[in-house]
Amino acid sequence: MPTFKFKGLDSQGTLVTGTEFANSQQEIAGRLMAKGLSILELNEVRKSPLELEFFTKIFQRVSRKELKFFYVNLATLINSGCTLRASITALAEQTENQFFGKALLKINSDIASGSSFSDAVSRHPKIFSQLFIHLVKAGEEGGMLDDILLRYAAYEENQEKIRSRVRGALVLPAIMVMVAIGVVVALLTYVFPKFMELFKGREQLLPLPTKIVMGVSNFLRNQWYLAIILTISSAVIIYLVLQTKIGYRYFSRLQLWAPLFGELFRKTFVSRFARTLAALSKGGVPTLRALKIVMDIIPNVSVKNAVNEIYINVEKGGNYSDPMQKNKALFPSMVTLMMRVGETTGNIDHMLNKISDYYDAEVEAVVAAIIATIEPIMTVIMGGVVLIISLSMFLPLFDIGKLLK
């Protein structure tokens, strides 16, 4: 939809400028005049050659930092007495992200056409999550939109901290593995072949370990493209398998029970479940709808199934804690007991926040433990590989007289 910039005078003679979306100049002119504006200028915003559809699709994204800035500043403006439309217009003009700015202007246009804020943002699912949309709807109905926006910004900040900790735990071993692979490849493709030139023409007399390492070295030097093809093919196959329901289900189980990392993911998902459900409950979202939203935002199938059991039980008039007690692997007894206390006292959202705070601290402890464990493990593995390569190089020296005869 084309974008138009306009300049006009309102009924009091005040200069008004802005940007609107419309299919034609006639449509936007009629809309502005219906608002009582006398149009002075109306021009279509032309796209530059760099704004081709292919490139805009690549860069059409909004960072979490930009969204957090939007939530906090929109809440501040509304709390200060600014109208919703004026606040959104100001933030749209302030943002440097053109894609986000256009989306905000479209939201503003939809609100001007009679849509609610929650309906307007729901038309941009690539930017705004279902959790945010439902909280905004609850905030509109309860007349506390500014409070909801601030609360959601705090929620997103907490979730980003958790994601950072998990990334930190996963990035370190990935870097160590890449460094180890780089060192091994350098040894096998440069150092080892140089050393083996001493025994050129006598390869049949070399010890078996040396022959094996030599075979790997020759493969990496002469058929390296096959190694790349094999790596890419394996990655594609894994990706395709994960796109199937069965493959993703097994991956979800592996994610929760993998050695070393399983505990990290279990605690992270429990924290996310509790924090999200608490935010929705406190925001006034109905219980069943809140559980549905939690199922949508948690990517792990096994956790989804556990939340679905809670949903079915609540739908039948039951409570949260009974299904949780049956799934002790994911929800330990302490969590179930805290939920039971929250149900008894009628303060579930407060208890959910307590659970989430506890598990956030647990995630930090698990990340520290993983980092402390991975370093010696990777050191031992790396040392073992280097030892094997070294032995394959030095074993022939023990019988060098026969080899050089």
CA 71 to the chain's CA centroid = 18
Final residue belonging to a domain, choices 155, 170, 191: 155
* Inside any domain, residue 378: no
Q: Would you say residue 286 lies in a domain?
A: yes
**Same domain as 267, residue 359:** yes
Q: Is residue 286 scored above 60 in pLDDT?
A: yes
The mean-pLDDT minimum among 94-103, 183-192, 202-211 falls in 202-211
Task: Please report which confidence band the pLDDT of residue 403 belongs to, taking 50, 70 and 90 as the band edges.
Answer: low
Cβ-based neighbours of 42, under 8 Å, separated by 6 or more: 4, 5, 6, 7, 25, 28, 29, 32
Residues 267 and 346 in one domain: yes
Give the pLDDT confidence score for residue 382 in this predicted structure: 82
Q: Give the pLDDT band (50/70/90) at residue 2.
A: low
Quick one: 274 and 348 in the same domain? yes
Region 101-110: mean pLDDT is 89
- Residues 150 and 83 both lie in one domain: yes
pLDDT at 53 (0 to 100): 45
- pLDDT for residue 172 is more than 80: no
Answer yes or no: do 24 and 73 share one domain. no
pLDDT reading at 128 higher than 70: yes
Look at the chain and report how many structural domains it folds into: 3
Query: Which of 2-6, 94-98, 312-316, 332-336 is predicted with the least confidence, judged by mean pLDDT?
Result: 2-6
Residues 125 and 75 in one domain: yes
pLDDT, mean of residues 294-308? 89
Model pLDDT, residue 50: 43
Q: Is the pLDDT of residue 51 over 50?
A: no
Question: Quick one: average pLDDT of 325-344?
Answer: 88
pLDDT score at 233: 94
Contact 123, 109 (CB under 8 A): no
Give 373-377's long-range contacts (Cβ < 8 A, gap of 24+).
373/260, 374/172, 374/173, 374/176, 374/260, 375/176
C-alpha span between 202 and 403 (Å, rounded)? 7
Model confidence over 244-282: pLDDT tens digits? 989 989 999 998 988 888 888 898 889 888 888 888 888
What band does 383 get if pLDDT is binned at 50, 70 and 90?
confident
309: in domain: yes
* Residue 145 counted as domain residue: yes
356 and 304: one domain? Answer: yes
CATH number of the domain within which 80 lies: 1.20.81.30
pLDDT confidence of 64, banded at 50, 70, 90? confident
Tokens of 334: 């302490």
**Is 163 domain-assigned?**
no
Domain residues for the domain of 104 are 61-155
Angle at 117 between CA 111 and CA 119, to 5 degrees: 95
In terms of domains, do 272 and 340 share one?
Answer: yes
Amino acid at 359: Y
Q: What is the pTM of this model?
A: 0.67
Do 279 and 321 belong to one domain? yes
Contacts 24+ apart (CB under 8 A), 88-95: 89/18, 92/19, 93/19, 95/66, 95/70
Binned at pLDDT 50, 70 and 90, residue 310 comes out as very high
Q: How far apart are CA 40 and CA 9, in angstroms?
A: 7
Q: How confident is the model at residue 402 (pLDDT cuts 50, 70, 90)?
A: low
pLDDT at 57 over 60: no
405: pLDDT strictly greater than 60: no
In a domain, 151, yes or no: yes
244: helix, strand or coil: coil
Instruction: Say yes or no to pLDDT of 377 above 80.
Output: yes
- 41 and 65 share a domain? no
Does residue 377 fall inside a structural domain? no
How confident is residue 197, by pLDDT bands cut at 50, 70 and 90? confident
What percent of the chain is predicted at pLDDT more than 90?
9
Decide if 289 is inside a domain: yes
How confident is the model at residue 48, as a pLDDT? 47
Does residue 232 register a pLDDT over 90?
Answer: yes
Is 68 found in the same domain as 26? no
What is the mean pLDDT of the segment spanning 124-135?
85
**Mean pLDDT across the chain:** 82
Residues 359 and 268 in one domain: yes
Q: pLDDT band at 22, cuts 50/70/90?
A: low
Mean pLDDT of 99-118: 88
- Find the mean pLDDT for residues 151-179: 81
